[in-house]
Amino acid sequence: MNSLTRIALVTGASRGIGAATAIKLAQKGCDVVVNYLNNQPQALEVKKKIEALGRRTLIIKADVSGYSQVQQMVEHAVAELGGVHILVNNAGASHHATLTNLEPQDWLRLMNTNLSGAFYCAKACAPHMKKAGWGRIVNLSSLRAMTGSDYGSHYASAKAGIAGLTKSLARELAPEVTVNSVAPGYTDTDLNKKALAEKSDAIRALIPLKRVATPEEIANVIAFLASDEASYVTGETINVNGGIYMR
């Protein structure tokens, strides 16, 4: 594998951490599949940036909460680019609701996107990684998986489930494939835009580093876990949160 171009699939890659990760992996020499659901113009912008780096890229619209769409996406990527060696399960959804107001359909929607989506993508990509004899899966968890949430038990539960999925797949897919997770804290993305706008000073006061992360800072850790340098790291969740939560 060392002499071959690695092909990365980044889900939810049209903006935020996903976009930053897709571009970072291209900078590291990967060809990149940019998955998106609703933001085609932004996905096209990411594609342009990757192509400007001299890397091949595809943009593929697919809802990761549907296994058939995931299968089609991976088959398309393999047919066009020749494989999938790196999977970054970044696609996710967020929703604020207390237990009293949380509807079963919202619980299922977040579980399907944030947890089942990661499982579906891993299931579709792992055979190609095993066949190639090399693979990296990086799942996106969250600070809320560690602390819980008083306004989003469904989100926190799905992201906590990522830890169990990560450890289980790390055991099952070794030694060819490593599987790790990154749990970002507050990051300057659209997902956190409302909270940061309403409680910016209060949030920063809680963080020892006194600032939120940039998407690029999270992408740097993901890119490390997707590299040869992290060849002896598997089954781990790496907290990247400026010190707001320390285990």
Distance of alpha carbon 100 from alpha carbon 162, whole angstroms = 25
Query: Residue 114 burial by CB count (10 A; 0-12/13-18/19+): exposed, middle or buried?
Result: buried
- Quickly tell me which residue has 């970072």 as its tokens: 24
Distance of alpha carbon 238 from alpha carbon 140, whole angstroms = 10
The runs of H, that is alpha helices, within the chain are 16-27, 40-52, 67-81, 104-111, 117-132, 143-147, 153-173, 193-206, 215-225
Distance of alpha carbon 167 from alpha carbon 105, whole angstroms = 28
Asked if the bond preceding 175 is cis, omega within 30° of 0, the reply is: yes
Catalytic site residue from 151, 155, 232, 245: 155
Q: Is 120 noted as a catalytic residue in this protein?
A: no
Query: Residue 141 burial by CB count (10 A; 0-12/13-18/19+): exposed, middle or buried?
Result: buried
Token duo for residue 43: 């996905």
| Catalytic residue numbers, as ranges | 155
